[in-house]
Chain A
Amino acid sequence: MIFTDLTQEHSVAAAPVPGGMLATALAQLEAAFDRLGLEEGLRAIMRQPERELTVSIPIRRDEGDIAVFTGYRVQHSSARGPCKGGIRFHPGVDMDEVRALAMLMTLKCAVANLPFGGAKGGVAVDPAQLSEPELERLTRRYAAMILPLLGGKRDIPAPDVNTSERTMAWLADTISMLEGHWVTEITTGKPIALGGSLGRAEATGRGVAVATVEMLRRQGRDPNGLRVAVQGFGNVGQHAARILANEYGCVIVAVSDVSGGLYNPKGLDLAAIAHHVRNNPKRLLAGYGADGHAEPLTNAELLTLDVDVLIPAALEDQITIHNADRIQARAIVEGANGPTTFEADQILHDRGIIVVPDILANAGGVIVSYFEWVQDLQAFFWGMDEVRSQLGKAMRRAFDEVWSLAQARRLDLRSAAYLLGVERVADAIQMRGLFP
């Protein structure tokens, strides 16, 4: 099959680069193209979104006047299945950002071998400036306007920045009203009572823990007793630390959040810390350890601790050219999105530090999102044990596939993950052929 790239217009690769993860993703995408020897036409297909929709969203403000917002929905690829991706409300949303995020979703779903393509949506709005009824009207009007793209077999939204399960409930209700019946599989991230899945809160953290253990076992190391530092004690870091300690015997020697960090070389009492955080007015680590159970340390110090595994599970761009040469961990598992900059990644690779990339390590969330869709389609809902068991299987399979490819092709895990994702999408495009 011969593909010819006739246009570079709207190319994701040509879009501005707003963040570290996107720069890394685009570089990895191009590198994967080269490694696979993909013909130019296939590259062109994958660089560009399949479909883009810009909508103008008028709403009636509470005071009676009309405000108009701009919304987007981008479907990057449906080659492997229905498009999947969140919807965000933020004043900085624009088409380039949505395109980039849609492409990343295509690759993330492909690496996890989920039968999904990638999509993303957003509305350029500051949600803090709108009242709750205005936000509901905005969500419902946006849902109606992008409805031609949506469907449980076409494109399935989910929550993202400044959207929540409440937003998804409004969206699902709007579409159900227009369809004339309750369409539960139209979105994921819904409230449990409306067809949401159990296990979402810990999904990303559990996936990070499984990826960590799989990486250690491939190295012939028993996770029991190995020292782990976790940056970020939010949803991802807290669950990852708890599961690694309780289920695999790892010793969590350091954790941190925005208020600072805690260190104990003999291991931290995670239950006591979690209790402190739950009962601390700011829900932060600050104030814990005054009785000598832990020493304080900064986020910067945590990143350079001498540990077996470092899990950055907080914010983007934490491991940079400024600290990569001081990282002492033998391995890094990226719980956050884009914690390592492109330049730092090169330094870590040169130093022989194994990095389990975000696109693989934090896929637990989107995997459970897929489980929600499956349960909705079957109208048969799983218990927590089933969700955990299936998530473990999916993460272990994904890790094994990436690891095996890395070994076979002598690649680092990030390059292997992107190669696997790109290859799966390219294979699907080639097998399906071009219509008409």
Chain B
Amino acid sequence: MTIKDLVRQSVVTHNAAQVLHLEEVAETIRDDALAQARKKIGALRRGANLAGLLERPDFLDYFKYGLASGVANVLAANDQNVQAVYVYDPALDAGSEAGEDPPRDVGVHLLVWVTTPSAALEALIASLDRALAASLKDLPAPGFRQRESILDVNLLSDDDMRRGVNYAGLLKGLFAPPLPVWRRA
């Protein structure tokens, strides 16, 4: 079952009774992201062991994008106020011409545009973060083992978007433009 199947099947709630379901969602996000990342890298490397792949910046980038995409789908399916989700790299030093891969940050940094931010959405994000972090614990990469949290989510309000303030300012920035992950049609 893919994450799309899951979110189509049912809206994920975040009360205690649904914790097991959220764990399943997190594991599906992880598995989808790993499958996508394997598909994206060259055929010659697809058969390499996961530990080796997770040390590669290109594979890790694809994997993190897959996680971001899965999380975006879950948030959007659960909250109709979610309008768009972007992923960004806070360590990007574009314009420096350095070209050196920055330290491998395993965190997923998201900007979520939501017309009406709510405590429910924030609670869902916190629960999903815990479930996702737990699902990544067994990956053969030191960066994931001791984690307690994987998601860094900044909610952008309509007002932020209109005025281009706070993290919404990044969206019109020249030097570290976020990548769109999901948009409501």
Q: A369 to chain B: which residues have CB within 8 Å?
A: 96-98
Asked whether B96 lies within 8 Å of A281 as measured between CB atoms, the reply is no
Asked whether A362 lies within 8 Å of B107 as measured between CB atoms, the reply is no
Separation of A159 and B147 alpha carbons in the complex (Å): 31
Asked whether A365 lies within 8 Å of B95 as measured between CB atoms, the reply is yes
Q: A282 to chain B: which residues have CB within 8 Å?
A: 105-107, 147, 149-150, 152
Separation of A22 and B145 alpha carbons in the complex (Å): 42
One of B58, B105, B165, B173 near A284 (C-beta < 8 A) = B105
**How many residues on the A side are at the interface (Cβ–Cβ under 8 A)?**
72
Q: A257 to chain B: which residues have CB within 8 Å?
A: 90
B129-148 vs A, Cβ < 8 Å mask (1 yes, 0 no): 00000000000000111111
**One of B12-20, B22-30, B34-42, B120-128 contacting the partner:** B34-42
Asked whether A21 lies within 8 Å of B104 as measured between CB atoms, the reply is no
A275-306 vs B, Cβ < 8 Å mask (1 yes, 0 no): 00111111110110000000000000000000
Asked whether A161 lies within 8 Å of B99 as measured between CB atoms, the reply is no
User: Is there a chain A Cβ closer than 8 Å to B169's Cβ?
Assistant: yes
Separation of A86 and B95 alpha carbons in the complex (Å): 7
**How many residues on the B side are at the interface (Cβ–Cβ under 8 A)?**
51
Asked whether A189 lies within 8 Å of B174 as measured between CB atoms, the reply is no
Separation of A188 and B100 alpha carbons in the complex (Å): 11
User: Is there a chain B Cβ closer than 8 Å to A234's Cβ?
Assistant: yes
One of A91, A316, A337, A365 near B169 (C-beta < 8 A) = A316
| Chain B interface SS verdict (over half) | loop
Given contacts A91-B179, A131-B40, A132-B42, contact A316 B174 (CB under 8 A): yes
Separation of A101 and B176 alpha carbons in the complex (Å): 13
User: Is there a chain A Cβ closer than 8 Å to B62's Cβ?
Assistant: yes
Given contacts A165-B100, A258-B90, contact A132 B41 (CB under 8 A): yes
Apart from A258-B90, A365-B95, what are 14 other A-B pairs with CB-CB below 8 Å?
A: A19-B174, A21-B174, A128-B65, A159-B97, A164-B57, A166-B58, A236-B96, A259-B152, A282-B106, A282-B107, A284-B105, A316-B170, A316-B176, A365-B93
Binding site for A on B (CB under 8 A): 39-43, 57-58, 61-62, 65, 90-107, 109, 143-150, 152, 154, 164-165, 169-170, 172-177, 179-180
Report 7 cross-chain contacts, Cβ distance below 8 Å, ordered by A residue: A162-B179, A168-B99, A190-B99, A235-B93, A235-B102, A281-B148, A364-B96
Binding site for B on A (CB under 8 A): 18-22, 84, 86, 88, 90-92, 97, 100-101, 104, 126-128, 130-133, 158-166, 168, 188-190, 196, 200-201, 203-204, 232, 234-236, 257-259, 277-284, 286-287, 314-317, 320, 322, 336-338, 362, 364-366, 368-369
